[in-house]
A and B are shown apart, each in its own frame.
Chain A
Amino acid sequence: MTQLSCSDIQLNFGGVRALSGVSFEVRQGEIFAIIGPNGAGKSSMLNCISGVYTPQNGRIVFEGTDITSLQPYNRSKMGIARSFQNIALFKGMTVIDNLMIGRHLHQHAGLVQGGFYLGPARNEEIRHRKFVEEIIEFLSIQGIRKKVVGTLPYGYQKRVELARALALEPKILLLDEPMAGMNHEETEDMARFIVETNSERGITVIMIEHDMGVVMDISDSVCVLDFGRKIASGPPEEIQKDPHVIKAYLGEEDI
């Protein structure tokens, strides 16, 4: 079943055409990878889905609703969460606090109730803390739960960012280069967490990733962008053999 469909997306920055006529469909429950050389428009595509950019042309439909011009916070409410290429956490706050903020969308206590920490606010807080603790366990970050985010190694910060996205209870998760800058071991851990997020929690994953080993290993389908255009899409085995893709990545032999 198609959960998210993008059709004929066009995005311009002044005279620069970042995306032109990109269309693809993401099925419910799959891991969907967007790959392509630098400057291909991958992050722009993700930004269109999460609502940071509004495309000049084209439609984005999420679970039957047109979200093309919806505000980002409204998209989060519908169940779209994301992580960023450059970590965007509150560096001065603890892991727990960062994750609790991820629950903000689901909290309803008002100023008075929350301010005085009255019964219902307290119960709500406990309920959300439990949810956050489950994510902490899921991602094995018990050892750092009370650490200030800024003091953590890079690999852990990436994991905390994934945790915060999960705290939103998303239906679809957008990951912008989740493995960037990681060593081999951290990459393997992250790949495992993404697979488990997908299989155990049933969350659809759209990810941009440069590590081809990971992409080919864990994704169900792959979409390749080059200079703002989609040049191929399909299961990873086919993509690996696609002449356009090989050309985009390796260049063409002069004859």
Chain B
Amino acid sequence: MSDGKLKAENPGETTFARLLRKSAQSYGDKKAALRVKSLGIWQETSWKEYYEKVELYSMGLLSLGIGKGDSVAIISNNQPSSLYALIGAEVAGGIPVALHKDSTTAEVSALLIQFNVKYVIAEDQEQADKILDSKLTPATLKKIVYCNPRGMRSYKDERLLSVEQLCLLGAELKEREPETFDKLVSGGDGNDIAIICTTSGSSGPQRGALLTHGSIIGMAANFSECAGMRATDEFVSFLPLAWFGELMISVAAALYTGFTVNFPESPDTVMADLREIGPHIIFAPPQIWEEIASTVQVKMMESTPFKRFMYNSFMPIGESFAANRLAHKPVSLFLSLKYRIAHIALMRALRDRLGLSRARVALTGGSALGSDAFRFFHAMGVSLRQVYGLTEISGVSFMHRNDDIKGATVGLPLPGTELSFSAEGEILLKSDGIFKGYYEDEAATAKALKDGWLHTGDAGSLDADGHLTVIDRLENIIRMSDGSLLAPQAIESKLKFSPYISEALLVGANRPCLVVLVCLSGRVMGKWAGDNKISYSTYSDLVSKPEVYDLISQELAKANRELPENARISRFTLLYKELDPDDDEMTRTGKVRRQVVEKRYSEIIEALYSEAESLEIDTEIDLQEGRSARIQSRILFRNL
């Protein structure tokens, strides 16, 4: 459908490169496609330059001998060169795959082998080292292109070349064969595989979903129209390209709609750069939104008494205004008036600080955002909308439309998306965005794709207005010993809204009551400890203090009061370390790997269900760069 419709409307424009060529022809040098901050100044790249860059990268790869279907891995921070490499590789016949730049050496080499990677575009020395250091570098690997030459001078590996050399090779080939690139772009087919997109792997190994140009662009067309994106919009790319949501917006939707993609100067400057740009479009997973919400709360704790007074007086007005709006209840004239004042006195300034002044298309997706955080942004006047989709269906299937926003749902289906439920209540989806299968994994493909229906693994239900509610991952739903069912996600999100709590893992399967393992935010707790004059040495030392347990007891008790009787937490403990993707406890996108965590801390969980008051811990944990530390600590168990 969407692909066909698109063909009828825009004949031939069904690959990324063709969309880019069209924009390059119509906008030329007049409009900025990309903007990057360099030496403190925003530098623009026009659509024409964008296209020319892609040509150089593509010809360079051809000159290196790239063949049809060769995998090209991109491991880099957000920067234009990643987009040039991505589209360039596609035109040259390769299939790009983006990897998380903070992946460990072992993870990188495993993925390179899994996807038979032949070419790598690496950002800098750090990333190149991950490939060169690995003892398991795949035999298929032919070339490693690095973008930043710093520190690379003394490297002698024959497979290395700089991005300048790549472009030089590209320019030489272009000189000899000026027509080739254009022909390749014209010859591109919407049914070609555009990308291998790694799945998050929250419950099992990471897989590579194969997606075609047609399905991604078809989805991008529907998505950008439903979301109301415009060619004059600004977008800031600060999330990893390995997350499909980022690829969807910064590549597919940007090429389709023609808005400008901005790249922050460095990961440290994202907040400042967001404020400078004031993007119209923001699409981020819940972890980011939760982090922003908790940052606001923390900053308010540190702020001056006057600012705190303003915040505490006006935020509740916003909250009740938002609560009414989200519940589709009428808002009284008096409340409206108060909200007006709150907007002038607080919300306007707050949104500006967060770079959300102009945020018109604010979207969250990837997993569920807690209702408190959701309401928080609506209170501020940011019309945050939920998006539901999976990588396997080109990212987007359901989303809230303009004013039709409900806190608990993910909204209505995109045009062309069909929905069904299995007997167990699993959400089944069908649309033209459906993937072609997992890379060299037919068994997994057959499991996910039956009779053209994508089995999402999520449990869900449909309400009277046709809104879909996603309850949780099917496998995560807890069946307690009395037979009652419980979705941990909603409860955990509620706990995580406390600025002190960074992660919460609910346990209760086949048990009489619910217990929770809590991880605290080191940053916030450090500040709290300072304010309360509690001395501590390390994170594990701090979280073993009785005072900290008292604080978290209060926070959890507060949450318990808002939870239904059967969903209340009876006992908790604080983990002696924060969950970390490097320890496999989380995915690179920040989702907790429940099975891994439950297994690793099973001793603690068992003790939580016993009568014990505390547990002595003596264990080794891995720190960065292969160092490890011994942790000897006493963790407490508290009843609520």
Residue of B nearest to A137 (CB): B39
Inter-chain contact A142/B268, CB cutoff 8 Å: yes
Complex-state Cα separation, A144 to B269, whole angstroms: 8
A199 interface contact, C-beta 8 A? yes
Q: Name 24 interchain pairs, CB-CB below 8 A, sorted by A.
A: A129-B40, A130-B39, A133-B39, A133-B40, A134-B39, A136-B39, A136-B40, A137-B39, A140-B266, A140-B268, A142-B265, A142-B266, A142-B268, A143-B266, A143-B269, A143-B272, A144-B268, A145-B40, A196-B150, A196-B151, A199-B151, A199-B153, A200-B150, A200-B153
Cα–Cα distance between A188 and B624 once the two chains are bound (Å): 12
**Which residues of A are found within 8 Å of B265, using beta-carbon distances?**
142
Q: Of residues 38 to 84 in B, which have CB atoms within 8 Å of A's CB atoms? A: 39-40
Identify 19 new A-B residue pairs, CB closer than 8 A, beyond the known A142-B266, A143-B268, A200-B153: A130-B39, A133-B39, A136-B39, A136-B40, A137-B39, A140-B268, A142-B268, A142-B269, A143-B266, A143-B269, A143-B272, A144-B268, A145-B40, A185-B624, A188-B625, A196-B151, A199-B153, A200-B150, A200-B151
Pick the 4 closest A-B CB pairs, nearest first.
A143-B268, A133-B39, A142-B266, A142-B265
Determine the residue in chain B with the shortest Cβ distance to A144: B268
For residue B267, which residue of chain A has the nearest CB?
A: A143
**For A137, what are the chain B residues with a Cβ–Cβ distance below 8 Å?**
39
What 1/0 flags go to A132-159 for Cβ under 8 Å of B?
Answer: 0110110010111100000000000000
Question: Which chain A residues (184-199) contact chain B, with CB distance < 8 Å?
Answer: 185, 188, 196, 199
- Residues 222-271 (chain B) with a chain A CB within 8 angstroms: 265-266, 268-269
- State A143–B274 Cα separation when bound (angstroms): 13
Q: Specify which chain B residues have a CB less than 8 angstroms from the CB of A200 in the assembled complex.
A: 150-151, 153
Binary contact track B415-449/A, C-beta < 8 Å → 1, others 0: 00000000000000000000000000000000000
Q: Which residues of B contact A (CB under 8 A)?
A: 39-40, 150-151, 153, 265-266, 268-269, 272, 624-625
Closest residue on chain B to residue A185 by CB atoms: B624
* Residues of chain A lying within 8 A (CB to CB) of residue B150: 196, 200
Smallest beta-carbon distance A85→chain B, Å = 26
Chain A interface residue count, Cβ-Cβ cutoff 8 angstroms = 16
Q: How far is the CA of A140 from the CA of B124 in the complex (A)?
A: 14
Q: Complex Cα distance A199/B254, Å? A: 40
Tell me the complex Cα distance, A221–B150, Å. 24
A191-223 vs B, CB cutoff 8 Å, 1 = contact: the mask equals: 000001001100000000000000000000000
Q: Which chain B residue has the least Cβ–Cβ distance from A184?
A: B627
B623 and chain A: residue at smallest CB distance: A184
Interface string of A83-103 (1 = CB under 8 A from B): 000000000000000000000
Shortest CB-to-CB span from A137 to chain B, Å, is 6
Q: Which of A143, A144, A188: most chain B CB closer than 10 A? A: A143
By a CB distance below 8 angstroms, the chain A residues around B151 are 196, 199-200
B residues within 8 A CB of A199? Answer: 151, 153
Bound together, the chains give a CA A153 to CA B265 distance in angstroms of 21
Neighbouring B residues of A143 by C-beta, 8 Å: 266, 268-269, 272
Q: How far is the CA of A145 from the CA of B625 in the complex (A)?
A: 28
A84 to chain B, nearest CB (A): 26
**Chain A nearest Cβ from B42, distance in angstroms:** 13
B272: chain A residues at CB < 8 Å are: 143
Whole-angstrom distance from the CB of B260 to the nearest CB of chain A?
21
Q: What's the Cα separation between A196 and B150 when bound, in Å?
A: 8
Cα A136 to Cα B272 with chains together (Å): 16
B608 → chain A, closest Cβ, in Å? 33
Docked pose: A225 CA to B162 CA in angstroms: 44
Enumerate chain B residues within 8 angstroms of A134, measured Cβ to Cβ: 39
In the assembly, what is the distance between CA of A134 and CA of B153, in Å?
Answer: 19
User: Taking the nearest CB of chain B, how far is it from the CB of A125, in angstroms?
Assistant: 14
Interface centre among A142, A144, A185, A196 (most CB of B within 10 A): A142
> What is the bound-complex CA distance between A136 and B269, given in angstroms?
13
State A235–B625 Cα separation when bound (angstroms).
27
CB-based nearest B residue for A131: B39
CB distance from A154 to the nearest CB of B (A): 15
B303 vs chain A, min Cβ distance (A): 15
Q: Separation in Å of the A94 CB from the closest CB of chain B?
A: 13
Q: How far is the CA of A200 from the CA of B272 in the complex (A)?
A: 29
Contacts of A129 in B (CB 8 A): 40
Closest to A140 in B: B266
Cβ distance B49 to chain A, nearest Cβ, rounded Å: 22
**How far, in angstroms, from A188 to B625 measured CA to CA in the complex?**
11
Docked complex Cα distance between A188 and B268 (Å)? 18
Closest to B624 in A: A185
Residues of the A chain whose Cβ atoms lie less than 8 Å from the Cβ of B266: 140, 142-143
CA–CA, A199 and B40, complex, Å:
25
Q: Closest Cβ of chain A: how far from B140's Cβ, in Å?
A: 32
* Chain A 219-237 interface residues, beta-carbon cutoff 8 Å to B: none
Beta-carbon nearest neighbor of B153 in chain A: A199
**Cα–Cα distance between A185 and B266 once the two chains are bound (Å):** 19
Cα A143 to Cα B40 in complex, Å, equals 10
Q: Which residues of B contact A144 (CB under 8 A)?
A: 268
Minimum distance in angstroms from A24 CB to a CB of chain B: 27
Closest chain A CB from B79 CB (angstroms) = 13
CB distance from A166 to the nearest CB of B (A): 15
Query: Which residues of A lie under 8 Å from residue B39 when comparing CB positions?
Result: 130, 133-134, 136-137
Contacts of A133 in B (CB 8 A): 39-40
Taking CB as reference atom, which chain A residue is nearest B37? A142
CA gap between A144 and B150 in the complex, in Å? 22
A185: chain B residues at CB < 8 Å are: 624
| Cβ distance B403 to chain A, nearest Cβ, rounded Å | 38
Contacts of B624 in A (CB 8 A): 185
Docked Cα-Cα span, A134 to B625, in Å, equals: 29
Measured CB to CB, the closest approach of chain B to A105, in angstroms, equals: 21
- Determine which residue in B39, B268, B272, B624 has the highest number of CB atoms from chain A within 10 A of its CB, and name it: B39
> Which residues of chain B come closer than 8 Å to A142, judged between CB atoms?
40, 265-266, 268-269
Closest chain B CB from A240 CB (angstroms): 22
Which residues does chain A contribute within 8 Å of B40, judged by CB atoms? 129, 133, 136, 142, 145
CA distance A200 to B149 in the complex (A): 10
* CA distance in complex: A143, B37 (Å): 12
Give A138's nearest chain B residue, CB to CB.
B150
Question: Which of B40, B150, B268, B624 has the most C-beta atoms of chain A within 10 angstroms of its own C-beta?
Answer: B40
* B-chain residues with CB within 8 Å of residue A145 when the two chains form the complex: 40
A-chain residues with CB within 8 Å of residue B269 when the two chains form the complex: 142-143
